[in-house]
Amino acid sequence: MLKIQAESNVPTEHGEFRMIAFSKLEGDWMPHLAIIAKDTDYSKPVNVRFHSECITGEVFHSKKCECGQQLDAAMNFIHKNGGIIVYLRQEGRNIGIINKLKAYALQEQGFDTVEANLKLGLPADDRNFDIAIEILNILEVKEVNLLTNNPQKIKFVKDSNIRFNKRIPLQIDSTKESEAYLKTKKDYFGHLLEDE
């Protein structure tokens, strides 16, 4: 059973958060994390971001995607307005960093992000958000405002016991390197992205 393995306060550039590690196993090196703003009011809809891990974007500031900037924007918003970032160990839409780098190598040859996964015999997106729902239940969250552009994340909440109040868009301006990636998100996955 998924449970809280450890928790502590963490001061960050965006302010102080409570960080909680969730896993079935105590010795897990890659637990899912909840990063929670101090004054979060659970009696109102809670601002929640489901964020899938992206080491290239978040740690190394890759320009190929907007994950790092989305995480920063979400931390900023949540520190100001209360809420929770559920940080999911779903690197590369859950294909892992080795496969993501293989997919990037194919993208260098001209395949888009979806085609590259399919060419590797992998699904375009191998994620589900059941574990994020489980984490919200452990935290006793009843109703959410979801920070996302991804309709799949909204569907997972709507199909769960958690009430969906509204979506908060989390759009980052595209760059020349991320333009094609964002276009594929919109055209193939139906992401709710406004034209710039």
Ligand X SMILES: Nc1nc2c(ncn2[C@@H]2O[C@H](COP(=O)(O)OP(=O)(O)OP(=O)(O)O)[C@@H](O)[C@H]2O)c(=O)[nH]1
Which helix or strand (DSSP H or E) is residue 190 part of?
A: none
As a whole number of angstroms, the distance between CA 56 and CA 108 comes to: 16
Residues that bind Zn ion (CB under 5 A): 54, 57, 65, 67
Which residue, among 14, 131, 136, has the nearest Cα to 72 in the 3D structure?
A: 14
Active-site entry in 18, 89, 112, 125: 125
- Asked if 127 is an active-site residue, the reply is yes
Is 26 annotated among the ligand-binding residues?
Answer: no
Residue 93 binds to ligand X (criterion: CB under 6 A): yes
Nearer to ligand X, 140 or 195 (CB): 195
2: buried, middle or exposed (CB in 10 Å: 19+, 13-18, 0-12)? middle
The CB density around residue 70, as the number of other CB atoms within 10 Å, is 21
Active-site entry in 41, 89, 126, 127: 127
Residue with tokens 């059973």: 1
Which amino acids are annotated as binding site for Zn(2+), given as ranges?
54, 65, 67
Residues with a catalytic annotation lie at 125, 127
Residues that bind ligand X (CB under 6 A): 51-54, 65, 67, 70, 90-93, 95, 100, 103, 113, 117, 148-150, 153, 170, 181, 185, 191
